[in-house]
Amino acid sequence: MSMDPMYTDCLRELEQVKAERDALAAHVERLGTLWEALLTAGDGRDGAAIDLQDAFDDTPETSLAKLKAQWQAEALEELANLPRKWWPGELMIEANRIRRQAEGE
C-alpha cells in the first residue's frame, strides 16, 4: 500500500519548514549573542562589531552550521574532561579544529 502523494508532499514540506525554522532560530541566537558582546564591549573596536557584521552577512543556514559545530566542539571538550581512557589532548585538538571551522578559519 502506497502513501497518498499529497501526504508525502506535506511531510516533505514540513521537514523543509522545520529545517528553515531551526536555521533561523540559530541565526537569531547568534545575532543576539553578538549584540550582547557589542554592548558589553562599549565602543565596538574589539572585533565584536566585525563579528556582528559577519553574522548579518551570513545566511541562517550558515549560522545553524556554525552553532552545530560549536556544540560538537563543546561535546568533545566535555569528553576530554571525563576520567576515561580517552586521549584528552587529541579530543581538544579535534574540538579546536571544529571550532575554527565554525568560525570560518
Number of domains in the chain: 1
Q: What number is the average pLDDT over the span 22-40?
A: 82
What pLDDT, on the 0 to 100 scale, is given for residue 44? 52
What pLDDT, on the 0 to 100 scale, is given for residue 50? 76
pLDDT tens per residue, range 61-81? 777 888 888 888 888 787 777
**For residue 63, what are the domain limits?**
5-102
**Pairs from 19-27 (Cβ < 8 Å, separation ≥ 24):** 20/60, 22/64, 23/59, 23/60, 23/61, 23/63, 23/64, 24/60, 26/60, 26/63, 26/64, 26/66, 26/67, 26/68, 27/55, 27/58, 27/59, 27/60, 27/62, 27/63, 27/64
What pLDDT, on the 0 to 100 scale, is given for residue 46? 62
